[in-house]
Amino acid sequence: MSYNFKDYCIFIWSKFSGRIIGVFLGLVLGIIYLIVGFFKMVFFSFFIFLGYYFGQKLDNKGNIDNSFSKFLDKLFLDKMMYK
């Protein structure tokens, strides 16, 4: 049995893709934390999460306008109701 590097990488990616992405994301966020500080990193991570959320909606053929409207309504109307 001989495996080439490409087959090995495909096998590893298929078994551990979530862990690989998590480690890479942790590495990137750790570097951002070291360079700019904690609160800027949290702010930056929030925008990464928003990008992921809306990208997932687009991938799933969801209506991004409707999702964005629901998100803004939930964000701002909840705050306005409790004032």
When divided into structural domains, the chain yields a total of 1
Round to whole Å and give the CA distance between 53 and 64. 10
In this prediction the pTM is: 0.48
**Which residues constitute the domain of residue 68?**
5-81
pLDDT, tens digit, for every residue of 40-66?
A: 888 888 888 877 777 777 667 666 566
Round to whole Å and give the CA distance between 29 and 59. 24
- What pLDDT score does 74 carry? 73
**Structural contact between residues 54 and 64, judged by C-beta atoms closer than 8 angstroms:** yes
